[in-house]
Amino acid sequence: MRRITEEVMTEREKMLAGELYDPNCEELQTARTRAHDLCTRYNALAESDKERAELLKELLPGLGEDGYIQGPFYCDYGFNIRAGARFFANFHFTVLDCAEVNIGDDVMCGPNVSLYTALHPLDHKQRNYRRRESGELYDLEYAKPVTIGKNCWLAGGVTVLPGVTIGEGCVIGAGSVVTRDIPAHALAVGNPCRVIKML
């Protein structure tokens, strides 16, 4: 008789696979707390403090050479963010990195740019909080990756939603909400963000 085994995925594995997962499990809570604490420490330091660079390396092991984040900076985990060489982000850069966030070389982000991978179910019966036997509340969410090609500029106040890919060489106008993929070498603006010309 053949033995059938079913591999059980961890909540972190479900998260990275784009499946519904419990973000309040111990592993993910611990990882988020660590990242939030590192962000708080980074944001509290003076720009001239050499410890900032070390904290940023610890928080973002996938940050490329000469990458710099002005701060304040906020992220959920840090370990799901890959940013290429010479990446720059201005004030108030926020990344909900529940799925992978891949950013190419020479990408610039203006102030108040947000990259979101986290999603909640549309059906309130799946979305609402529930209670464990222990009495603790939890919910379920899922995530889709965000990709930004090399040589892009995201102007101030741009929001990129889950599952979006922005092709290389794009310029995304200030205040845009990017809800769908943008082809390479496009100037795109608006809410929802639309291509207005090719560069």
What are the residue numbers of the active site?
A: 120
Question: Does an H or E element contain 96, and which?
Answer: strand 93-96
Q: State the greatest distance between any 2 C-alpha atoms of the chain, in Å, as a whole number.
A: 67
Both structure tokens of 23: 């973000």
Contacts of residue 90, defined as CB under 8 A and 6 or more positions apart, other chains included, come to 70, 109, 110, 111, 112, 113, 156
The radius of gyration of the chain from alpha carbons, rounded to an integer in Å, stands at 18
| Distance separating alpha carbons of residues 139 and 127, to the nearest angstrom | 7
Both structure tokens of 162: 């889950």
| Distance separating alpha carbons of residues 64 and 68, to the nearest angstrom | 9
